[in-house]
Structure 1
Amino acid sequence: MSAITSPRANVPAAAGAIKTITARQLADRLREKHELAVIDVRELARHVDDGHLLLSIPLPLSQLEIQADALLPHRGAPVVVYDSGDHTDDHTGNRSGEVGLAQRAAARLVAAGYRDVAVLDGGVRAWRDAGLEVYTGWHVLSKAFGEFVEHAYGTPHIPAEELKSRIDRGEDLIVLDGRNIDEFYNFSIPGAHACPNAELPYRVHDLVPSRDTLVVVNCAGRTRSIIGAQALINTGLPNRVVALENGAMAWLKAGYPLNTKHHNTAPPPTPAGLAKARQSTAALRRRFAIQDLDRAGLQALRADPDRTLYVLDVRTREEFRDGHLPRSVWAEGGQLIQATDQWIATRHARVVLVDDRDGVRAAITASWLIQLGWDDVYTYGLDPATDALELGAGQRAVLGLPAAATPITAEALCQGLEARRLAVFDFSPSPLYRVSHIPGARFALRSRIDQRLLDAAADRDIVVVASDPALARLAAADIAALAGADRVRVLAGGNLAWRDNGGELLGAEDLHWHDPADDVWLSPYFREDRIAAFDTYIDWEVGLIDQLKRDALVSFQRYDDIAGRAS
């Protein structure tokens, strides 16, 4: 494998110094089983709606320094960066006069110490022109895998109308919602239990009163229903297990109500339930040849300077906060399989899944990662008596975090706005901006900071607001590079400080879009005509199986009951 070279680490690179790679060369690299990260540095909506490479992850330029350390933990692993290839990624119709997003992102990575960085020449446009598959949607690899699983294993399903009839007749059944706890709280099928997918084999045994109880797994759409149901089947649960066909979308389309703002979390297993769970995953470990690490084994992987390692804790958020391994990241098991691109950027990296000593959740998660194409997957069981643990939500490293800009208090900001001496730009996520922002503040994206922002500010000084203090500092530094540090302030404490000082916060009645809200993708549940959006979404997801057949770079394998053997 030829190396992708880059300028010397820790030295900001000129745009012309970054290596490029053609679409065909990158396709050849992706066929090899060597470490490689491919990142799309456009804003998320552009990644989703305009199309992207399936084996890539979204890492917008706006968030690059904030997320790169976790997503790209090994500075020596090869990284290929791409954008649309059109150099009009700002969608304003104006060119900023700077190099494209990918070149800027690559230069920042090189300056942060990444030693093997290249830009995809021509971006998505060149990839498409080379006859290679381009995918729309979000978390597409995981969703395409869900469709493959249903076809390969014949995962059984039940229509919403049949489930509702069975519930109304009082039949012996249980509905388990495989999404995360927050999603369940927003809406859920009446009577369902919140049981995120990796928790299903762990908690299910105490929830079914008999072997005759029908177990129904649901989610918002399709993927987690399929993966959750097949997980229980794979672990040998003796009950009949089915996926709710098209999830809560089908339930709503049929005219049935949903609960909202409701908790009904499946309880932790009893000793008897846990014994059954351990027994079921023991067979799973044999089937997929899942390797378990001791402390020395984990330390050896951490010490290897030549490989990328992700240490991901698949337990609940509460368990993670109560004590986790240093340098581990919380990645709830069910969500990890649903959205691998949120946690794992480098293909063919090593992955260690941390669980409690029982290892049930790590085992089911590992089995799916192996089927998704990760070969080096391990599990690790925490021992609170001997492992050195950290408390809290975990540490975050921000690459090249600049010195804090000159702060401004809420009181001083209020006075400056009244005197028309200040212009406020809010870099918070657009959903937060929609519901709460300082009157007159303009929504802006860090990836699109250019002369347009200075023109909008006119002769006023610029005040940066953001819900993330690190993002505020980064945006302020970018603006200062254009306008000079003496023109830039950061609101100390953000919108909360403004509110605490007696300032009013406005929402939808006062929206000022300096940049389009391309930082988020709008779920079908929040579209104006959500029933039509449901139909479009389901057609898209079901159609992924045909797109996979055309894609020579991706081939999932069906595993039989013999460890390590695929068909």
Structure 2
Amino acid sequence: MTRHAATPQDIRSALLLRQEIALLDLRHEAAFATGHPLFAANMAAGRIAIEADLRLPRKDVPIVLYDDGEGLVDAARDQLQALGYGNVRALAGGLQAWRSVGYEVFQDVNSYAKAFGELVEARRHTPSLSADEVASLIAAKANIAILDVRRFDEYATMNIPGSVSVPGAELVLRAGRAAPDPDTTIIVNCAGRTRSIIGTQSLINAGLPNKVRALRNGTIGWTLAKHGLEHGSDKRGDIGPFDGAKDNARDVAYRAGVRHIGIRELAALQADDTRTLYRFDVRDADEYASGHLAGFRHYAGGQLVQEIDMAAPVRGARIVLSDDRSIRADMTASWLAQMGWDIYVLDGGYDGPLDAGPPQVLPKPDPAHRYRRPYEGTAVAEAAMQAYLDWEYGLVEQLRRDGTHGFYVI
């Protein structure tokens, strides 16, 4: 890259060569969601002071800034340099230059995780049931267990009747208790598609003996099919892995290319100032608060896969995950590895001194600047829901056209 500016071709080369790069979109989230490069991360100009230290832990990481003609770049570059970041450039010509050379622009947020989920379903033919099929099973009192893999607050807002909250990476750890009868069919749902695809395929990959199906299109599909939702539910799945879950999860991680390390290797990674290192504790928030390894930020495993662009905006960085039960870290790492991340799982470390305290949470942006997800809340127009599903179904083809993703599916 040149000293003062980066071209779209420079960025594409860095992505293809898996060099570290933080491509930051300085617009508000609502504008970011209208279109951005696949691996761009949103860091609104007004939030740099709040977010930079946490999301960009290495001060000399290559950073490229862009907007879409709003004039945000110069002030943001000055601000980042004042914070100690020494390798900050602008994207020459901004987003319009990216479009002009014919590179793909992706809509929505968490776009590349969603595109990856669609690729998983296409490659593995992840089995699913329609909303009408699931509603018929509920009406017939069939031997089913519906596991909702969204965050608990999303579940409590609205859920499929009779479902239980088992967020993301908790599935393999809790499915044995949620469905102790191997003849029980497990139905995994989220709000749309991605988390239910990843959750369903996680249980299949880990060798759960039960039949597992995704609820196709999640609560969006359920709503569009005119079925009712429950509100205010508080049913949580208890810990109870099925036989062999821990060993199976580790095998899945190894097959994906995940490396297990100890404290000695972690120290070596931390001492390497030429690479960005993210450290995440993927357990639930209460476990984290009661005791966690120093320097590890809380990010529940399922949400980390969904929101990896928010958690780790430096594409090409290293990631280390910790989990005192290992299952959640192994399953989370297996997906991040398939998304092209250089990822490790830390073995042990919990037998020594631990830090205590709640997770660090960034202040939420002004609601006026936030992108309203078509899959959240209870007052979303049906046309917006359907348009969102149509967009998701087109992501595999858009990945093909873009050509920078480097994803693979085991």
Aligned CA distance change for structure 1 residues 274 and 137 (closer, same or farther; 3 Å): same
The one-letter amino acid paired with 2:336 is: L
Q: Deviations over 1:279-330 (max 9, x none)?
A: 3213213322321121111111111111110001100011111111222111
The one-letter amino acid paired with 2:181 is: S
SS at match of 2:78: helix
The one-letter amino acid paired with 1:346 is: V
Partners of 1:82 and 1:380 in 2: how far apart? 35
Asked whether the equivalents of residues 305 and 332 of structure 2 are also in contact (C-alpha less than 8 Å), the reply is yes
Aligned CA distance change for structure 1 residues 352 and 124 (closer, same or farther; 3 Å): same
Partners of 1:120 and 1:327 in 2: how far apart? 32
Aligned to 1:73: 57
Aligned to 2:402: 551
Partners of 2:82 and 2:380 in 1: how far apart? 46
Greater Rg by CA: 1
Query: Is residue 366 of structure 2 the alignment partner of residue 521 of structure 1?
Result: no
Partners of 1:104 and 1:292 in 2: how far apart? 42
Partners of 1:332 and 1:396 in 2: how far apart? 13
Aligned to 1:312: 280
Aligned CA distance change for structure 1 residues 80 and 429 (closer, same or farther; 3 Å): closer
Query: Is residue 354 of structure 2 the alignment partner of residue 362 of structure 1?
Result: no
The one-letter amino acid paired with 1:392 is: G
Counterparts of 1:128-143 in structure 2, within 5 Å, are 128-143=99-114
Partners of 1:528 and 1:160 in 2: how far apart? 19
Partners of 1:529 and 1:77 in 2: how far apart? 39
* Counterpart pick for 1:56 among 32, 35, 40: 40
SS at match of 2:244: helix
Q: Deviations over 1:319-345 (max 9, x none)?
A: 111111222111110001111111101
SS at match of 1:311: strand
Partners of 1:554 and 1:385 in 2: how far apart? 38
Aligned to 1:265: 236
SS at match of 2:354: coil
Query: Is residue 188 of structure 2 the alignment partner of residue 217 of structure 1?
Result: yes
Asked whether the equivalents of residues 82 and 123 of structure 1 are also in contact (C-alpha less than 8 Å), the reply is yes
Aligned CA distance change for structure 1 residues 383 and 137 (closer, same or farther; 3 Å): same
Aligned to 1:43: 28
Counterparts of 1:187-202 in structure 2, within 5 Å, are 187-202=158-173
Deviation, 1:180, is: 1.0
Query: Is residue 310 of structure 2 the alignment partner of residue 342 of structure 1?
Result: yes
Aligned to 2:128: 157
Query: Is residue 260 of structure 2 the alignment partner of residue 296 of structure 1?
Result: no
Q: Percent identity?
A: 38
Deviation, 1:383, is: 4.1
The one-letter amino acid paired with 1:56 is: A
Asked whether the equivalents of residues 262 and 348 of structure 2 are also in contact (C-alpha less than 8 Å), the reply is no
Give TM-score, length-normalised by structure 1: 0.70
Asked whether the equivalents of residues 285 and 359 of structure 2 are also in contact (C-alpha less than 8 Å), the reply is no
Query: Is residue 221 of structure 2 the alignment partner of residue 371 of structure 1?
Result: no
SS at match of 1:347: coil
Q: Deviations over 1:193-243 (max 9, x none)?
A: 100110001110122132221111000011101010001011111211111
Deviation, 1:395, is: 5.5
Partners of 1:395 and 1:522 in 2: how far apart? 24
* Counterpart pick for 1:393 among 344, 358, 362: 358
SS at match of 1:74: coil
The number of residues matched between the two structures is 409
Partners of 1:26 and 1:287 in 2: how far apart? 30
Query: Is residue 156 of structure 2 the alignment partner of residue 185 of structure 1?
Result: yes
Aligned to 2:175: 204
Q: Deviations over 1:390-428 (max 9, x none)?
A: 11124589xxxxxxxxxxxxxxxxxxxxxxxxxxxxx98
The one-letter amino acid paired with 1:40 is: D
Asked whether the equivalents of residues 118 and 396 of structure 2 are also in contact (C-alpha less than 8 Å), the reply is yes
Partners of 1:264 and 1:142 in 2: how far apart? 27
Query: Is residue 255 of structure 2 the alignment partner of residue 284 of structure 1?
Result: no
Query: Is residue 77 of structure 2 the alignment partner of residue 106 of structure 1?
Result: yes
Cα-Cα RMSD: 1.8
The one-letter amino acid paired with 1:24 is: Q
Asked whether the equivalents of residues 37 and 80 of structure 1 are also in contact (C-alpha less than 8 Å), the reply is yes
The one-letter amino acid paired with 2:344 is: Y
Partners of 2:100 and 2:78 in 1: how far apart? 26
Say which is worse superposed, 149-158 or 288-297, in terms of deviation.
288-297
Query: Which structure ranks higher in relative contact order (CA pairs < 8 Å, sequence separation ≥ 6)?
Result: 2
Asked whether the equivalents of residues 236 and 280 of structure 1 are also in contact (C-alpha less than 8 Å), the reply is yes
Partners of 1:288 and 1:23 in 2: how far apart? 30
Asked whether the equivalents of residues 213 and 240 of structure 1 are also in contact (C-alpha less than 8 Å), the reply is yes
Counterparts of 1:454-533 in structure 2, within 5 Å, are 517=368, 519-524=369-374, 525-526=376-377, 530-533=381-384
Aligned to 1:175: 146
Partners of 2:319 and 2:285 in 1: how far apart? 19
The one-letter amino acid paired with 1:61 is: A
The one-letter amino acid paired with 2:339 is: L
Partners of 2:185 and 2:253 in 1: how far apart? 26
Asked whether the equivalents of residues 293 and 349 of structure 2 are also in contact (C-alpha less than 8 Å), the reply is no
Partners of 1:164 and 1:396 in 2: how far apart? 37
Aligned to 1:509: none
SS at match of 1:251: helix
Q: Deviations over 1:419-453 (max 9, x none)?
A: xxxxxxxx98443xxxxxxxxxxxxxxxxxxxxxx
Contiguous gaps of at least 5 residues in structure 2: none
Aligned to 1:32: 17
Asked whether the equivalents of residues 38 and 56 of structure 1 are also in contact (C-alpha less than 8 Å), the reply is yes
Deviation, 1:43, is: 0.6
Asked whether the equivalents of residues 158 and 378 of structure 2 are also in contact (C-alpha less than 8 Å), the reply is no
The one-letter amino acid paired with 2:394 is: G
